[in-house]
Structure 1
Amino acid sequence: MVDESKYPTRIAPYGLRIPPDLKVRIQTAADANSRTMHSEILAALEEKFPAQPQLSNVESSLVLLKFALLRDNPDRAKTLMALRELEEDLKDLKKHIYRGLKAED
């Protein structure tokens, strides 16, 4: 089953001119991978331009890491210090990202 959130059907088509020799190579790869040319092109683009991790995922991972380390690590003082540093780095990263987004507006 196709993941509709990944490939929504309401995306406007994009016309792309492909040189004949490249088209043959794409079709050959698609056949070898049991895919359509469209799917082969999307797979190549996803590989070349992977999705950037979402900040919310990083924050969720940090929370899970915190619980795991505090539960399993006997040296809680060092663990807490490392987590605080990580949290500060994450805050700095957020500020940097938000500044970048505002600059683009």
Structure 2
Amino acid sequence: MSGKAGRGADQFMVRLPEGMRDRIKAAAEANNRSMNAEIVATLEEKYPRPVLIEEEIAKADALLAKILADPNTSDENKRLLALLAEETKRLIRRRRT
């Protein structure tokens, strides 16, 4: 979940079938969180936030930089990784158009 929901967050009233509140409460206690946090976590699993390609590219770039900076990474592997990164970016740019 991105950020904490607060009092200003969207609210949605829902009627629960008999016994469900108790099951949610038990799960929340087992996971050391509030019932609201338990419900939100369950909904996040079922309805994940759409993946933003820009965020994934940034993660990949960070990982690539870490690998390239590692003194144990061979020059050949660095060369191949750089080629792979450029080709991936080229394909992404081409797909956007």
TM interval, shorter chain, is 0.5 to 0.7
- Residue identity over aligned pairs, in percent, reads 24
Cα RMSD (Å): 2.7
The whole-number CA distance in structure 1 between the counterparts of 2:39 and 2:84 is 42
**In the TM superposition, what is the alpha-carbon distance from 1:41 to its structure 2 partner?**
0.8
Larger mean CA deviation between 77-86 and 7-16 belongs to 77-86
- Structure that is richer in helix per residue: 1
**One-letter amino acid of the counterpart of residue 74, structure 1:** D
Contact 1:26 1:40 (8 Å CA) reproduced: yes
Point out where structure 1 has 5 or more consecutive residues left out of the alignment: 97-105
Residue 43 in 1 paired to residue 41 in 2? yes
**One-letter amino acid of the counterpart of residue 91, structure 1:** R
Point out where structure 2 has 5 or more consecutive residues left out of the alignment: none
Residue 88 in 1 paired to residue 61 in 2? no
Ranges of 4+ aligned residues in structure 1 off by more than 6 Å? none
Q: Which has the higher contact order (CA 8 A, sep 6+)?
A: 2
Match of 1:52 among 29, 41, 50: 50
Corresponding residue for residue 79 of structure 1: 81
The secondary structure found in structure 1 opposite 2:19 is: helix
TM-score with structure 2 setting the length? 0.65
**In the TM superposition, what is the alpha-carbon distance from 1:24 to its structure 2 partner?**
2.1
Corresponding residue for residue 103 of structure 1: none
* Shift in alpha-carbon separation, 1:24–1:69, aligned structure 2, 3 A: closer
Q: How many residues align?
A: 91
TM-score with structure 1 setting the length? 0.62
The secondary structure found in structure 2 opposite 1:28 is: helix
